[in-house]
């Protein structure tokens, strides 16, 4: 079986459904063999859709024409040729998507799910946490009401970003409002539901520590990316002063990156993203690094159903699995039509047992969503949940208060 073609497929909402920019486009990778067999992968976007899509075409040259069983050689040859791969998420994202698709093909060829290729699953059900559920929430009571709804749906863990438009610095009113939001959610869902605090890598070290110390009282299960990624050395002091465990990893690209953060004592819980950190090939190595340090893994998983299906396969075999991120309940409708084959029920994913990724891709829906556009540009950053980045002076630092963030922001029109 030889690889005949590697195609990047950019998809966006065919019905112009409003969604957060990060949810508005995805890049799938379709690998086809000379026998007509098809494997699927996915690469992340987030304001780099076109560069990732074109990088897949570069990676394709190393795979096309080769036997499927030489996919490791192709992976290595591209890694050597891509001089900036260790620091280029466009290159690692493209390589990851192709690697995932090749594993999907291999599983289909052998008639087994990928988790059997990786040594066999350790678990059949995977505890999930909900993300994306707090779209358009501003007031603490709005966060509380939506949190209750997610818990009624079966989730026992919720992740959310309470910081609104605070960035870099953190004003006292901004911190007070973030604390009120977290308090409201904690009181709404009770002590048995895990709260996971998302910072999106937004703060300088000192305001990050202030935020961590304030939110410690609500006993979060972790706080994610409290400092800006280029200021990661500040995490050492953060971990010394703040009780809440630190989680990060969606912006780390190689097994060596994860080893470095663990060895320097900068992180408690790893959050690799299978679609930008080398797919299954590096995924196994990162899992080994985590196991060597006794670090738990909670995979980042924000972009789409092929990514979810791939991540579940690796989750099933991880020796230090912690919890799995889920956006399924918050996706725009068009994403839900792309794939079937995995199930989220009562706050848990069930591990698929069909060959490869265990899914069936709806190619008609894929074709209907084909696009060559960049993500829509709004006045909210593309990484926030829609409607949570307050226009300057309108409320995330309370009415009349001055945010420490320079520059104004206005709510995006036509983007949620």
Tokens 């080994």 correspond to 288
Marked catalytic residue, from 108, 115, 300, 348 = 300
Distance of CA 300 to the CA centre of its chain: 3
Tokens 């791969």 correspond to 85
Q: How far is CA 396 from CA 142, 147, 211, 228, 279, in A?
A: 14, 19, 15, 20, 38
Of 331, 330, 354, 325, nearest in space to 342 by CA: 354
Are the C-beta atoms of 201 and 225 separated by less than 8 Å? yes
- 200 part of the active site: yes
Which residues are catalytically annotated?
200, 300
């Amino acid at each position: 079986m030889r690889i005949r073609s590697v195609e990047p497929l950019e998809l966006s909402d065919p019905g112009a459904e409003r969604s957060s920019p990060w949810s508005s486009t995805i890049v799938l990778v379709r690998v086809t063999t000379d026998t007509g067999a098809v494997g699927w992968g996915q690469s992340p976007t987030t304001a780099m859709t076109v560069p990732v899509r074109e990088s897949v075409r570069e990676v394709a040259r190393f795979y096309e024409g080769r036997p499927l069983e030489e996919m490791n050689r192709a992976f290595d040859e591209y890694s050597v040729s891509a001089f900036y791969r260790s620091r280029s998420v466009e290159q690692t994202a493209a390589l990851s998507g192709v690697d995932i698709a090749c594993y999907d093909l291999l599983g289909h060829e052998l008639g087994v799910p990928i988790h059997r290729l990786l040594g066999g699953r350790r678990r059949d059900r995977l505890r999930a946490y909900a993300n994306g559920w707090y779209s358009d929430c501003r007031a603490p009571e709005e966060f509380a009401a939506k949190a209750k709804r997610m818990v009624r749906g079966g989730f026992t863990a919720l992740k959310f970003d309470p910081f609104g438009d605070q960035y870099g610095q953190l004003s006292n009113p901004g911190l007070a409002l973030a604390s009120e939001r977290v308090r409201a959610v904690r009181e709404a869902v009770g002590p048995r539901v895990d709260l996971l605090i998302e910072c999106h890598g937004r703060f300088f070290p000192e305001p990050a520590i202030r935020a961590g110390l304030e939110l410690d009282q609500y006993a979060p299960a972790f706080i994610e990316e409290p400092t800006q990624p280029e200021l990661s050395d500040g995490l050492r002091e953060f971990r010394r002063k703040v009780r809440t465990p630190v989680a990060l990893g969606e912006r780390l690209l190689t097994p060596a990156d994860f080893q470095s953060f663990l060895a320097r004592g900068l992180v408690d819980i790893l959050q690799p993203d299978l679609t930008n950190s080398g797919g299954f090939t590096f995924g196994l190595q990162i899992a080994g690094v985590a196991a060597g340090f006794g670090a738990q893994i909670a995979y980042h998983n924000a972009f789409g159903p092929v990514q979810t299906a791939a991540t579940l396969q690796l989750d099933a075999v991880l020796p230090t699995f912690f919890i799995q991120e889920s956006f399924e309940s918050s996706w725009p409708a068009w994403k839900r039509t792309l794939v079937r084959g995995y199930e989220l029920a009562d706050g848990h994913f069930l591990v698929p047992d069909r060959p490869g990724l265990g899914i069936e891709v709806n190619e008609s829906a894929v074709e209907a969503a084909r696009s060559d556009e960049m993500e829509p540009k709004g006045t909210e950053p593309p990484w926030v949940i829609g409607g949570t980045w307050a226009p300057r002076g309108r409320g995330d630092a309370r009415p009349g208060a001055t945010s420490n963030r320079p520059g104004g922001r206005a709510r995006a029109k036509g983007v949620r």
